[in-house]
């Protein structure tokens, strides 16, 4: 099941999402991006492995546009499969202006924490924090 099949956001949420993502982009990914190791380690919620395999990982892509969305502490946050996902890294500018509406993303756990990947540009993982 795709993430957008769970719930649709309101037009007001979509405008907030569009503004937030556009202001949370990186001008220089190489200097702006920090992985979880550089951040001192991941300390957020850990999704149980069986649940993770069923809804997350490269085989479970979804689009962020239309999902429930908030801005918390200046960071974009959206809900997918009952979990709140907060971007703690800016997204790379080469993803494009409307990537959250146009591109499938997925969540992966890589060595030191959770990251969100854009299927169109799978080499750049945006550090994210998960909460329940």
Which stretch of 9-18, 51-60, 84-93, 98-107 has the lowest confidence by average pLDDT? 9-18
Which ranges constitute the DSSP H helices of 1-132? Answer: 11-23, 29-32, 49-55, 99-102
pLDDT at 9: 59
pLDDT more than 70, % of the chain? 91
CA–chain centroid gap for 106, Å, is 8
- Residue of higher predicted confidence among 9 and 68: 68
pTM for the predicted model, two decimal places: 0.85
Least Cα distance to 85 among 11, 5, 17, 29 occurs for 17
Q: What is the share, in percent, of the chain residues with pLDDT greater than 90?
A: 60
Q: How confident is the model at residue 115 (pLDDT cuts 50, 70, 90)?
A: very high
Mean pLDDT of the chain: 87
- Give pLDDT, residue 112: 87
């Amino acid at each position: 099941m795709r993430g957008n099949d769970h719930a649709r956001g309101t037009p007001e949420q979509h405008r907030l999402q569009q503004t937030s993502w556009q202001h949370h982009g990186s001008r220089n990914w190489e200097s702006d991006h920090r992985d979880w190791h550089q951040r001192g380690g991941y300390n957020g919620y850990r999704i149980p492995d069986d649940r993770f395999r069923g809804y997350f990982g490269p085989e479970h892509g979804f689009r962020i546009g239309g999902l429930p969305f908030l801005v918390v502490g200046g960071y974009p946050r959206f809900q997918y499969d009952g979990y709140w996902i907060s971007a703690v890294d800016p997204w790379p500018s080469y993803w494009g202006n409307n990537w959250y509406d146009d591109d499938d993303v997925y969540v992966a756990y890589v060595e030191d924490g959770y990251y969100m990947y854009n299927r169109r540009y799978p080499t750049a993982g945006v550090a994210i924090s998960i909460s329940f």
